[in-house]
Chains A and B, each alone.
Chain A
Amino acid sequence: MSISKKIVADFVANGVEFVTTVPCKQLGGVIDAVEKAPSIYHIPSNKEDEGMGLCAGAFMGGKRSAIIMQNTAIGVTVNTLVTLTQFYRMPLPMLISYRGELKEPVACQVEMAVHTKALLTQLNIPTYHFHHQGDEEEFDAILKYTFMSNKPVAILTDATFWGGY
Chain B
Amino acid sequence: MIRSDILRAIAPIIRDKLVVCNIGLPSQELHMIDDQASNFYMLGTMGLASSIGLGLAIAQEKTVISIDGDGSILTNLGTLATIANNESNNFILLIIDNGSYGSTGDQPTYAGKKTSLSAVARACGCENVLECQAEDTGTALQLAIDSKKMTIIVSKCKSGNIKVPVITKDPVVIRDRFMTEVVSSDG
Contact = CB atoms under 8 A, between A and B. Distances in A.
Interface of A: 17-18, 41, 43-47, 49-63, 65, 79-80, 82-84, 87-90
Interface of B: 20, 40, 42-45, 47-60, 76, 78-79, 81-82, 86, 171-172, 174-175, 178-179, 182-183
Contacts of B57: 57, 61
Contacts, number: 115
B45 A84 contact: yes
B56 A57 contact: yes
10 pairs of A and B residues whose beta carbons are closest in the complex: A83-B44, A57-B55, A61-B59, A53-B51, A46-B78, A53-B48, A57-B56, A54-B55, A57-B52, A58-B55
Contact of A61 (B45, B47, B58): B58
A62 B182 contact: yes
Contacts of B42: 84
B58 A88 contact: no
A41 B60 CA distance: 12
A63 B40 CA distance: 17
A31 to B, nearest CB: 16
Given A54-B55, A62-B59, A84 B182 contact: no
A54 B44 contact: no
A57 B171 contact: no
Contacts of A65: 55
Given A57-B53, A83-B43, A50 B48 contact: yes
A52 B54 CA distance: 12
A54 B64 CA distance: 13
B174 A60 contact: no
Contacts of A55: 55
